[in-house]
Amino acid sequence: MSNGNAVGNIFCEKAGCPVKKRGMFICIEGLDASGKTTHAHRLVRNLQKRGFEAIYTTEPSAGEIGKFIRKYVLQRRKRVPSVVEALLFAVDRVDHVEKKIKPALQEGKIVVSDRYVYSSLAYQGAAGLETKWIEEINELALPPGLAIYIDVPAEVVVRRLRRRRSVMERLEIQRKVREAYMRLVKNGSLIPVDGNRPRDEVSKDVLTIVLDFLKSWGKH
Ligand SMILES: Nc1ncnc2c1ncn2[C@@H]1O[C@H](COP(=O)(O)OP(=O)(O)OP(=O)(O)O)[C@@H](O)[C@H]1O
Ligand SMILES: [Mg+2]
């Protein structure tokens, strides 16, 4: 990943933050059905209630490449080769960063992305691709200021996933992906939150982590 500047002081008079317009980029990661969308939306609402300008976005993105991925990669019974998955997600990510994330950050907004580069490292890494290569093809991905991992055991997500069809629903896949995510927690790339609790407890912890981080940045 390149060393772009995705973090900085946030414009928020109400919260008493310094008046300097530079955005903050946050991503929420986790297994399928771990609660990413639920908690990314709740985080955006909670930040807005506190006077921050925050937006929700997701990967695959809402752009043309993201739409292609949903149709030809995710909505199939059989997985496409993992190299193809990795390359498509990396291209969509550049499109997402350039068209949506960077413009919002330049307007001083907090951008909350539901999945980001760690999903590629975890899913395509679990599928057998080398971490180094996945990092290389994602070199243009702007590094987030904060990356939160909603941790839910594989058995729990598989139970939640049975209610819908998914190419990723198998327990062994989810277990391997969770191991890959936990390596990213161990090396300090991701901050874990126990997602196997009532929704309100999880979202409270996510908000606390983000507000503490914003406060520490406000001091710089
Ligand atoms: N803490 C929780 N306890 C129980 N159920 C939860 C919790 N958080 C989310 N859920 C439920 O789990 C399901 C999946 O949640 P959600 O769609 O937010 O997950 P996701 O990680 O975004 O999934 P996907 O990877 O498929 O986009 C939903 O039915 C949601 O209501
Ligand atoms: Mg989701």
Domain ranges of the chain: 24-218
Reading phi first (left if > 0) and then psi (alpha if -120 to 50, else beta), residue 5 is in beta
- Look at the domain 24-218 and name its fold: Rossmann fold (3.40.50)
Which residues lie with the beta carbon below 6 Å from any ligand 1 atom?
A: 30, 32-38, 160, 195, 197-199, 202
Mutate which of 28, 31, 37 for ligand 1? The one with the most ligand atoms within 8 Å of its CB, which is: 37
Q: Which residues contact 28 (CB under 8 A, 6 or more apart)?
A: 36, 39, 40, 43, 112, 113, 114, 115, 148, 150, 206
Side by side, the strands of the sheet bearing 146-151 are 54-58, 110-114, 24-30, 146-151, 191-194
Which one of the ligands is nearest to 36 CA? Answer: 1
Find the 186 Cα to ligand 2 centroid distance in Å: 24
Q: For residue range 78-106, list pLDDT tens digits in order.
A: 889 999 999 999 999 999 999 999 999 99
Q: State in Å: Cα 140 to ligand 2 middle.
A: 24
Closest ligand (CA of 29) = 1
| Closest ligand relative to 161 C-alpha | 1
Distance from Cα 114 to the centre of ligand 2, integer Å: 7
Gyration radius (Cα) of the chain, Å: 17
Average pLDDT over residues 138-143: 95
Distance 106 CA to ligand 1 centre (A): 31
Average pLDDT, the chain: 89
Tokens 């901050």 found at:
191
In this structure, the residue with its CA closest to atom 30 of ligand 1 is 35
Contact 36, 28 (CB under 8 A): yes
CA distance 98 to 90: 13
| Cα 39 from chain centroid (whole Å) | 11
| CA 201 to ligand 1: nearest atom | 1
The tokens for 47 are: 């930040």
Residue 9 CB-half CA count within 13 A: 13
CA 195 to ligand 2 center in whole angstroms: 14
The confidence band for 217, taking pLDDT boundaries of 50, 70 and 90, is: confident
Mean pLDDT calculated for residue range 23-48: 97
Contacts 24+ apart (CB under 8 A), 165-173: 165/77, 166/32, 166/74, 167/74, 167/76, 167/77, 167/78, 167/79, 168/32, 168/123, 169/32, 173/126
Predicted confidence (pLDDT) at residue 10 exceeds the cutoff of 80:
no
Beta-strand ranges (E) seen in the chain are 24-30, 54-58, 110-114, 146-151, 191-194
